[in-house]
Amino acid sequence: MPVMSSAPAKHYLLNASVIVAALGYFVDIYDLVLFSIVRIPSLQDLGVTGQAALLENGVLLLNMQMAGMLVGGVAWGILGDKRGRLSVLFGSIFLYSVANILNGFVTDIPMYALLRFVAGVGLAGELGAGITLVSEVLPKEKRGYGTMVVATIGISGAILAGFVGEYFGWRTAYFIGGGLGMLLLLLRVGVYESGMFKNLKQTQVTRGNFLSLFTNGKRFWKYLKCILIGIPIWYVVGILITFSPEFGLALGVSGAVSAAKAVSFCYLGLVFGDFASGYLSQRFKSRRSIVLIFLLLLTISIALYLFSANLSINGFYVLCIALGFASGYWAVFVTIAAEQFGTNIRATVTTTVPNFVRGAVVPLTIGFSMLKDGIGLLPGALLLGAIAMAIAVISILTLDETYGKDLDYMEPL
C-alpha cells in the first residue's frame, strides 16, 4: 500500500496520526479478543462437544492466532523500518479485516485454524506501527499522552467485541470486525509519515535489521527485557480471562461465567488502567516506577482471583475488572519499547515486542495445560502467574528510564 507524503510533525496532541492510530488499535483489539469471546459458541456451532474438547480446540485456535502474530510481528516490524510506518499501519488493517470477514464463513476446525493464523499475521502490525508513528510525530513532552490516547481508545474495542459477541452471534461478530477495519481505511487521507523516518530514508544507515537485535549482547538483553515486562498482561488475558468459565467452575462461582462478559469487564478495567498508567507516567515523569506499581497491583489482583471461593457471579466480574485495571500498563510498556531503540530499528522493536508478548500465550497455555494436569487448575495457574510476575519485576528494575528521551537518533547496527 503506498506511503503518503511526509509533512512536518504536528505538535498538538489529537492530530490525525494519533486519531487514526487509536481507531486502528480499537479495531485491532476488537478482532484480537473476539475469538476469546466467541470461542465456546463458535466451536459448539461447528460440532465440538464436551468440556475437554472445547478446551483443547480452544487452545489450538488461540495458539494458531498467536503464532500468526509472532510471524507477522517480525515481518511487519522489518517493513515498518524499511518501507515506512504508514505502509504497515494500513496494510495490516487490510489483512486482518479480510481474514476476519472470511472467519464468518468457516465450516470446520482446520479452516478456522488457518484463518485465525492469517488474522494473527494481520493483527500483528497495527499497534507497533501506530505507536512508532505517534512517538515520532509528537514532541517528547507529549509522547506519553499520545500513546495513552491510542491505548485507552484502542482497548475499549474489546468492550464492543464483548457486546457484539454476546448479542449478535459469532459469525456476525466477525463480519462486523472486518467491516470496521475496511471503513477505517477510508481515514487514510491526512495522515503523514513521520519526519524522523523521512530523514532516515535519506541516509545510508541500515534499517529494520531484525537479526541485529541478537548479535549484540547489551542490545539483546534490553530487547528481551522489553518483552518480559509485558508477559503478565497476557497471562491474565490469555489464561485467567480466556478460560474464565473453567476458573468459575473451579472456584465455585454461583452461576455460569460468560467468557464474553469476563473479557468485556477485564477490558473495561484495562481502559481505565491504561489511562491511569499513561497519565501517571507523564505526571511523575517516570515509566519504570509506574510499571512497578501496576505489577504490585496485579500481583494482589491475581491472588484475589485465584484464592476467592464461592463468589457471586457479580463478585467474579468485579475481580475481572480489577485484573484488567492492574494489567493496564500496556500503553507504558509499549512506549518503553519504542523509547529504548534508535529510529532505524524502532518500528521493528515496537512491532515485535508486543507481538512476542501476545505470542507468549502459546508457551503460557502449554505450560498451563501441563501444570493443570500435574498439580491442578488453580495451583497450576498460581505457579505460572508467580513465575511471570517475578520475571517482569526483575526486567523492569534493570531497564533504563526513558521518560523525556530524545528519539531522533540512529542505532549502531
pLDDT digits (tens, 9 = 90+) for 49-103: 887 788 888 888 888 888 888 899 899 999 988 888 888 888 888 998 999 999 9
Residue the block writes with cell 459477541? 165
Percent of the chain scoring above 90 in pLDDT = 39
User: Among 102-116, 247-261, 278-292, where is mean pLDDT lowest?
Assistant: 247-261
All three cell numbers of 285, joined, read 515523569
Domain 16-186+210-397 superfamily per CATH: MFS general substrate transporter like domains (1.20.1250.20)
Q: Distances from the Cα of 345 to the Cαs of 223, 352, 368, in angstroms? A: 11, 11, 34
At residue 124, the 3 state secondary structure works out as coil
Domain boundaries, the chain: 16-186+210-397
Higher pLDDT among residues 7 and 383, named by residue: 383
**pLDDT at 199 > cutoff 50:** yes
Place of cell 481502559: 271
Which residue in 68, 82, 61 sits closest to 355, CA to CA? Answer: 68
More confidently predicted of 2 and 166? 166
Burial of 54 (C-beta count, 10 Å sphere; 0-12/13-18/19+):
middle
> What average pLDDT score do residues 380-392 get?
95
Asked if 180 and 34 count as a contact pair (C-beta separation under 8 A), the reply is no
Write the DSSP string, 209-244. Answer: -GGGGSSSHHHHHHHHHHHHTTHHHHHIIIIIITTH
Coarse DSSP helix, strand, coil percentages of the chain, rounded to the nearest 5 percent: 75, 0, 25
The arithmetic mean of pLDDT across residues 346-372, rounded, is 88
- pLDDT one-digit tens code per residue, 179-195: 998 888 887 656 777 77
DSSP 8-state code for residue 48: -
Amino acid 2: pLDDT: 39
Q: What SS3 class is residue 393?
A: helix
Average pLDDT, the chain: 87
